[in-house]
Structure 1
């Protein structure tokens, strides 16, 4: 190390003298590396020793690497054929070189804390005509041209960024030209170049001695998703809030990001991290109007909107909307809507809507609508509607609940599900639930047709009927809830709580309503037919009040027409089983 440090120090002095003599316009040493891994790997650059493989599959080689080297791989399922047979000699050397032998030179490898990311990168690029201006105090303006090594043609839309301070970023023009304005650079500056389908390239520049440096070190990371539809750059909301240049940079850099203590932005384009803001995860982020960052690992406040390319871990508030491309862990609140493209572990609160792919655990609360593909261990609470395309814990809504499978309770006016044991509402439609159509008459000579529809345990009751001999009321409709207590081959037992609303012969509303609690035993006469006799306890309001009568009466059977009455009664009828 002392000999190496002395060499670097002497070499810098030589370059400094050359620059002053204006023999070079660069004024620095440039080292161009075509890298299979740019971001400081330990496993990729580690030594391995493997036996010879003959007729083995790629999957079997990966399994050996997993067992012997504790290496895990991540890649697009369409990228590799794991069942392809390979023949490869015994090997001792760097892991990255072995992977190139195994898969070929058209692949690129990047390392995270736990996985090695495999991407397709068949093309190579290089930098020519590098120029650097360091005349300004503590600033360096670095420019150059990027070209394709094979065709020698310029490469446009390449992301070029300062990997030392992560404060500058740019896209190359149609002619391959870029320019970076780096503030407070270190003596050694690393410029990284990334573009989809190109192998990442890195430039190492030794700057003249008068340039000072901050001495800051940055922690980097890599976010990987196998589903491209769950990325901000491919979403409707992401395209609305971001520019085309930012989306191209996201594609070029993939999931690469760097951590930073804080950032402040007026808009996504006016930020303390400048154009590189979409690749920075901040502990504290303040967006006056709106901001676009890689993510949050703490707190983010947005006057109008917050957009995170990757994950949000912590607390996030926005006046209008929050949009997160990765996972949401913590608390997220917005005046209008929250949108998450992956998983929620925490709480989403919005004035109008919440949208997430999967609720791992937690709660969605919205004034309007909650949407999720799955919420197995979570709940949805909405003023209007809840939608879960997969499983959900519980749903409570003022209007409609829709789900595939509900593990807990569905409470709404209308409940729709493929499977739900405890739906509570005016109307339930459970595909794998129970449905019965019945015809019965009670002690008040009210004959009605009823539909009972629900799940394995809870169900709703809807009925409409007519009084056979009542002068004051003619028609009635019933709504209520019930529960299956026993469901045997010969015998069934249920209990119900229903409310009846009355109308006269002109279909005008009559205030004399009644509510009943009844027990419904039924005997199966066949596979699809039951008969039942259901005793009930009813509170009935008088339909023909008389003056100077007591307000309430108790009777064993039937209502007192002149007074409000608690009374016993019953219903008999026949029931047709549409499903069980």
Structure 2
């Protein structure tokens, strides 16, 4: 057993260097060794360099760059024969050409806490090129066999809340003891990994690798049966894919392209492009593009584009369209929420909510269309529905009498400029009929006491003394009313009503329409259809 130290021990050099940002450098060196150049780049960027010294040319190198990105500088320094792989804070120098033959190297070891020397379980150990991985057991020990392009393998060792380490392994090496140094900054658990559905489909080993490893790599394509059983292996949670195909379920760092899943797609971080799943898409950060799912799309942060799901869509800020068979939820929406049952927006809606039953938003700056519409505040726009409830806006109960039914009850809700009306009435006396209707209206204050209003409603009339009549039997009413405020919450209203009545008499009681509207302005019978118009009245008290 032997203790392993890092490959990097650099002397302080009097170099003409000046620190910029983590990935942009200014560097001026002449006739310097590669080791000295790597040392300078470490001081500038914080990146640590690992390499097989046999690969590094002996001739000196010249470099003069001003405010250049680190990848550009490395390409200039390494030339055409060398390349590099970035793993977290480490940059590993590798041959540019892939060798025709791969060597197999096995390594064993134990990982200890540098302060307490206690064994560390669930530490990620992986070869940096092909990302072949292993994990330490309860005794802090691991065994790893990997195919490498050189006689030297670089093995990265990572654990959440510990400083990453890279060791160099050759076929002669047998056993390593590596000390990991704890870091004070505690890493927060990725929110995607806390979801029950993700935990059910993803093995704890796969999630632990994703939590431990600090690298992020982009690959052109991957195929997955289940998380861990994929071309990206157990470190799939740290890989960003351009094309991803998940037969049952997939688990990745991010998506920037196209992803198809038979059942479930899971991205720990962001996504862009097209994501389609037979059941569910989950994205832990933002998503830009199109999401399609048979059951649900879940984007934990902002979404822009088009979400379509058989049951539900969820995102924080939505810019675009949410289309769901059951439910759409968002914190803020700039666009449209369209659902078969309900839309919920806990912040500001700047756009349209359209549902088969209920819409809700905290602040309305657009339009709601549904049976029930709810908002705490209306900055602009209006709602169309049977019930529209807004804080400090119009929602009143009205008792009234008119020329057809002497006893009526209505509920009016919405805005003063545009409100909905639900009404029902009865004439138990000579008319022997009852009615029900829907419509909308608008009212405005002429002064502190006087109110003017107009309403348009469609009413169906039915007899009390016979069976329910099918077919057309509709009374379209347009009323113009003046009102006065009696108290803060009570007002009286009254005015003329213009009636347009249509009665399809086929199979119905032909004398039914004679019970009302006898002083007609217009009366016409054509076949089995009767139409007539007249002017009536209405008087009401609102509460």
Identify which of 43, 67, 73 aligns with 2:21. Answer: 43
2:131 matched residue in structure 1 = 167
**How far does residue 484 in structure 1 lie from its aligned partner after superposition?**
4.0
Tell me the distance in 1 between the aligned counterparts of 2:336 and 2:419: 21
**How far does residue 31 in structure 1 lie from its aligned partner after superposition?**
2.9
Q: How does 1:224-235 map to 2 (within 5 A)?
A: 231-235=191-195
**How far does residue 523 in structure 1 lie from its aligned partner after superposition?**
3.0
Does the 8 Å contact 2:206/2:236 carry over to 1? no
2:122 matched residue in structure 1 = 157
1:419 matched residue in structure 2 = 377
Q: How does 1:190-229 map to 2 (within 5 A)?
A: 190-198=154-162, 200-205=163-168
Q: How does 1:253-268 map to 2 (within 5 A)?
A: 253=213, 256-268=215-227
Identify which of 513, 519, 526 aligns with 2:474. Answer: 513
Tell me the distance in 2 between the aligned counterparts of 1:375 and 1:367: 20
Counterpart secondary structure, 1:250: helix
**How far does residue 327 in structure 1 lie from its aligned partner after superposition?**
0.9
Q: How does 1:348-367 map to 2 (within 5 A)?
A: 348-359=307-318, 361-367=319-325
Structure 1: runs of 5+ lacking an equivalent: 1-23, 35-40, 49-92, 98-111, 114-135, 210-224
Counterpart secondary structure, 1:310: coil
Q: Does residue 538 of structure 2 align to residue 571 of structure 1?
A: yes
1:406 matched residue in structure 2 = 364
Counterpart secondary structure, 2:199: helix
Q: Does residue 275 of structure 2 align to residue 316 of structure 1?
A: yes
Change (3 A) 1:245 1:45: same
**How far does residue 488 in structure 1 lie from its aligned partner after superposition?**
5.0
Tell me the distance in 1 between the aligned counterparts of 2:466 and 2:452: 35
Change (3 A) 1:311 1:253: same
Counterpart secondary structure, 1:533: strand
Structure 2: runs of 5+ lacking an equivalent: 10-18, 27-42, 48-68, 71-100, 173-185
Counterpart secondary structure, 2:6: strand
1:131 matched residue in structure 2 = none
Does the 8 Å contact 1:366/1:382 carry over to 2? yes
Counterpart secondary structure, 1:157: coil
Does the 8 Å contact 1:32/1:201 carry over to 2? no
**How far does residue 386 in structure 1 lie from its aligned partner after superposition?**
1.2
Q: Does residue 212 of structure 2 align to residue 252 of structure 1?
A: yes
2:485 matched residue in structure 1 = 524
Does the 8 Å contact 1:414/1:427 carry over to 2? yes
Change (3 A) 1:442 1:391: same
2:298 matched residue in structure 1 = 339
Identify which of 402, 407, 427 aligns with 1:442. Answer: 402
Tell me the distance in 1 between the aligned counterparts of 2:467 and 2:146: 80
Change (3 A) 1:444 1:358: same
Tell me the distance in 2 between the aligned counterparts of 1:566 and 1:377: 45
Change (3 A) 1:240 1:570: farther
Tell me the distance in 1 between the aligned counterparts of 2:365 and 2:480: 26
Tell me the distance in 1 between the aligned counterparts of 2:25 and 2:224: 44
Q: Does residue 496 of structure 2 align to residue 535 of structure 1?
A: yes
Identify which of 376, 389, 397 aligns with 2:346. Answer: 389
Does the 8 Å contact 1:241/1:307 carry over to 2? no
Does the 8 Å contact 1:482/1:495 carry over to 2? yes
1:305 matched residue in structure 2 = 264
**Number of positions where the alignment pairs a residue of Structure 1 with one of Structure 2:** 440
**How far does residue 502 in structure 1 lie from its aligned partner after superposition?**
3.2
Counterpart secondary structure, 2:118: coil
Superposed CA deviations along residues 321-352 of structure 1, whole A, max 9, x for unmatched, are 11111111100001111111111111110111
**How far does residue 226 in structure 1 lie from its aligned partner after superposition?**
10
Does the 8 Å contact 2:209/2:234 carry over to 1? no
Q: TM-score, normalised by structure 2?
A: 0.71
Counterpart secondary structure, 1:563: strand
Q: TM-score, normalised by structure 1?
A: 0.67
**How far does residue 232 in structure 1 lie from its aligned partner after superposition?**
0.7
Tell me the distance in 2 between the aligned counterparts of 1:154 and 1:316: 42
Superposed CA deviations along residues 121-153 of structure 1, whole A, max 9, x for unmatched, are xxxxxxxxxxxxxxx943333332111112212
Does the 8 Å contact 2:523/2:531 carry over to 1? no
Counterpart secondary structure, 1:180: strand
Counterpart secondary structure, 2:235: helix
Tell me the distance in 2 between the aligned counterparts of 1:398 and 1:481: 19
